[in-house]
Amino acid sequence: MSGEEQPPPSGSARGKAPRRPRATGIRKGELHLDSRGRARMVDVGGKPSTRRVAVASGRVRMGRAAFDALAGGRLSKGDALAVARLAGILAAKRTAEIVPLAHAIGLESVVVECRLDAKSREVVVTATVSTSARTGVEMEALTGVAGACLALYDMAKALDRAIEIREIVLLEKTGGRSGPYRRG
């Protein structure tokens, strides 16, 4: 070692702030980064409250034995679909505790549905979340689906450790300044 001080790593307290990524189509102030590139919660205080609805879905694929036990209500842990629906509702309500920059939102409705698809041996989980607020509920819908899918895995894992949680996506959203979105 030469005794010379090494230059600080990029973005450190003594070095330059990291470059702020360019965002196209996003209004200034809507990024989760401050002027120095540090994570922050977006200020939604000046936005009007509007009706917001988001729908997300996901799939839980499992082997024949696990799927048949689930469909027949023969899982040792009980009614997996009821547990999944409740887990999805709870997850949606607790999104701000799980997703660091999500706003805590008073949800007006969370509906989680689980549909069995015997041909693909999948449970198709759909969460519909709604409220009147200053920010959207996309994260709540996605988190609700993830929570329900994880509960299904937990309920059936004794019969199949290779269960796959797949394709958690936003299907649609309405409300807010950016307008409606529908997955193509």
Instruction: Locate the domains of the chain by residue range.
Output: 10-40, 50-182
Catalytic residue check, 154: yes
CA nearest neighbour of 81 among 98, 65, 63, 67: 67
pLDDT digits 0-9 by tens, 58-86: 999 999 999 999 999 999 999 999 999 99
Identify which of 61, 53, 72, 49 has the alpha carbon closest to the alpha carbon of residue 134.
49
At the topology level, CATH places domain 50-182 in Alpha-Beta Plaits (3.30.70)
Look up tokens 């008073």; give the residue. Answer: 106
pTM tops 0.75: yes
For the segment 105-159, what is each residue's pLDDT rounded down to a tens digit?
999 999 999 999 999 999 999 999 999 999 989 999 999 999 999 999 999 999 9
Tell me the pLDDT tens digit for each residue of 92-103: 999 999 999 899
What percent of the residues of the chain are helix, what percent strand, and what percent coil, each to the nearest 5?
A: 25, 25, 50
Q: Which residue in 34, 68, 79, 154 is the catalytic one? A: 154
Give pLDDT, residue 23. Answer: 45
